[in-house]
Amino acid sequence: MEQFNVKGMSCAACSARVEKAVMGVEGVTECSVNLLTGSMSVEGTANAEAIIEAVEKAGYGISEHGSDVINEDMSEDAADKETAALFKRLVSSIVFLVLLMYLSMGHTMFGLPLPAFLENNPVIIGVLQMLLSLAVMIINRKFFTNGFKGLIHRSPNMDTLVSLGSGSAFVYSVYALVRMMLSSDPKAYLHEFYFESAAMILALITVGKMLESRSKGKTTDALKSLMKLAPKTATLIVSGKETKVSIDKVRVGDIFAVRPGESIPVDGIVVKGSSSVNESALTGESLPVDKKEGSGVSAATVNLSGYMECRASRVGKDTTLSQIIKMVSDAAATKAPIAKIADKVSGVFVPVVIAIAIITSFVWLTVGQSIGFALARGISVLVISCPCALGLATPVAIMVGSGMGAKNGILFKTASALEYMGKIKTVILDKTGTVTRGNPEVTDIVPADGFTEKELLTLAYSLEIKSEHPLAKAIVKKANEDGISSADSTDFEIFSGNGLKGTVDGKVIFGGNGKFISEKADIGENMRDIADSLADKGKTPLFFACDGKLCGIIAVADVIKDDSTEAVLQLKKMGIHVVMLTGDNKKTAEAVGRQAGVDEIIAGVLPDGKENVVKAFCDKGVTAMVGDGINDAPALTRADVGIAIGAGTDVAIDAADVVLVNSSLMDVPAAIRLGRATLRNIKQNLFWAFIYNVIGIPLAAGCFISLLGWEMNPMFGALAMSLSSFCVVTNALRLNFVNIRKSKG
């Protein structure tokens, strides 16, 4: 996917025009233009030169995205600069507009005093009005240059509507001024001027654009706050000496020091020291995380207590922070499926509005109204129509929703992923590493008669320490935690699929499953019952025998995560069908499934089978798959929404649409709540954008004059247009106040 920055777009009609132009380039398979960020993502085999040429031919500026990752310098985005420029334009416009309004309305309507040389000179008053109006038009000439450029390139936009509305009022007023100069009764034409409308329209639209620009800036707050976290320097240790360098000088393998209170400059591995690290900036988790030798650390997290030396593992665009920023940015650059509705309308909106305005004026002239009245109706139609509200309805909500997710450790890779999260009917959970911790642990130690728990664990430890099996590692871990020392074992032998053998202190020790050990020692009915009971609970019983005598049973299990049960409960409260999918045996799967409280358990499924299961559920409704392993990648890709546990493999994370940085299942219901809130917000925005135009255009055209006596002044139309986009963006900002962690659905 190639990224570009497009300049000169003023409304949804512009973005639709750019998309159409790029899609016409040979080799382009997908093009998505984001009006909010001015970004464009293109997929296909077409080269950049052909794409740039197509956009420039359509009448817009374009440049290639300069970097794979957004940095802090880019956080001072165009929206902020645009706001300052618009404010200056507005202040300048108001100065001239106040004088114009005093002349046009203050004196003629309210009898406010004028200098003596103007009192009885309506022609001079008219000329002054024209000059003041012209000054406002020059200050806001960008509307006219963009608007008429759009017409020339056969891609009219919102600026075209504004410039036509203001220009028509000005041209008609100049025509009235010429007639005044030729008339024997000049005062009769004072009420024929629309100079104040021509200027007021521009000032009011500038107000709306300024408010919209400020609101747009707020939609990227989460992104900008992440950019500002990026450290500027790092303290490298070179030949035993500390050297402070710029962050871009750090390379993979460099050793860097981090003192208490300092930000960690790049991702790395602790090689010396220990500390607690505040990772809330990346994960949203407020509790600090302990780090020791061998622990991983991430850029932009804060060292709280101890001194650490770390080896850089990922730098620049490869750091976790950069990847998070890129994911949020990419999500904003893509389009949600629901946006296609607005795109289709926006593509024909401006030409249709211009046609309606012309027809409106013609109809009023046909029924006998004056040119001024007919022109006012046409201008009202032009200035009240707002394609911007339609174009912004989806991207602003997506940007705010993605930023909100990033703050909470939930990363959406695409806009469609965020939308689909709000439509999910079924959630499929992988068992190992998702519902469970993924690391087997000793859960029960049951010594046989004549042995203590410590003796049993010591014998097992001495035997299993030489094994690489995950169950053996669980026993080794337990022994280390309990401070137990192992004895040397000799004659070590592995019986694949059954167990182990070794000699410890002259005693022959066997360890393995019940069938294997029953051939070496008498297990007894009581111990068999205990083993069956443990198996029913999803635990794996390991038997140990010493010199032909049973020593006891050690049960190992991949225990369920602390928050899995609560996460499943919340999903069910939200009306979602929860399925657990695993390659484990049915008995173990059912035991874990009962603990977690899932609705359905599907066990004994191979990786390719998982994909088929997910496909079957997708056919019934929108389905999410949550997983963490390489074997989950096909299923994550097949699902409508693939959700990867953040601590999972890179393959799983690459295959997924959503990444849970905290590796917590509790983030699944949180992500769905955010998806639902975002989808609801998009629908609200689209409703108001459509209803505004559906009601506003007929009102401006004068359709209600004969029925209800409602007549719209062009200036009120301009004000309504200005506020429509502002309201849409402001509504999207409400997503920042959504509580995605609440316990109820």
The burial of 518, by beta-carbon neighbours within 10 Å (0-12 exposed, 13-18 middle, 19 or more buried), is given as: middle
Sequence letter at residue 113: P
Catalytic residue (one of 267, 430, 558, 584): 430
Written as one string, the DSSP assignment of 611-652 is: HHHHHHHHTTS-EEEEE-SGGGHHHHHHSSEEEEETTS-HHH
How is residue 708 written in tokens?
């209800």
With beta carbons less than 8 A apart as the criterion, state whether 381 and 356 touch.
yes
Q: How far apart are CA 490 and CA 503, in angstroms?
A: 5
With beta carbons less than 8 A apart as the criterion, state whether 290 and 297 touch.
no
How is residue 11 written in tokens?
């409304």
Beta-sheet pairing, 302-303 with 308-314: unpaired
Q: Which residue has the tokens 């061998």?
A: 294
Which residues, including other chains, have CB under 8 Å from residue 586's CB and lie 6 or more apart?
Answer: 601, 603, 604
- Smallest CA-to-CA distance from 281 within 567, 661, 562 is with 661
* Range 41-47 contact pairs with CB under 8 angstroms and sequence separation of 24 or more: 41/1, 41/2, 41/3, 41/4, 41/330, 41/333, 41/334, 42/1, 42/2, 42/3, 42/4, 43/1, 43/2
Which residues, including other chains, have CB under 8 Å from residue 468's CB and lie 6 or more apart?
Answer: none
Q: How far apart are CA 396 and CA 730, in angstroms?
A: 9
Q: How far apart are CA 739 and CA 745, in angstroms?
A: 11
The burial of 273, by beta-carbon neighbours within 10 Å (0-12 exposed, 13-18 middle, 19 or more buried), is given as: middle
- Smallest CA-to-CA distance from 263 within 218, 233, 292 is with 233
* Range 139-144 contact pairs with CB under 8 angstroms and sequence separation of 24 or more: 139/89, 139/92, 139/93, 139/96, 139/202, 140/89, 140/93, 140/202, 140/203, 140/206, 143/202, 143/205
Q: Which residue has the tokens 């040389």?
A: 117
- Smallest CA-to-CA distance from 732 within 677, 669, 671 is with 677
SS3 for 427-451, per residue?
EEEEHHHHHECCCCEEEEEEECCCC
How is residue 532 written in tokens?
């069956």
**Please, where are the H alpha helices in 537-584?**
564-573
How is residue 302 written in tokens?
């804060």
Residue 430 bears catalytic tag: yes
DSSP single-letter state for residue 58: T
Catalytic residue annotation: 430
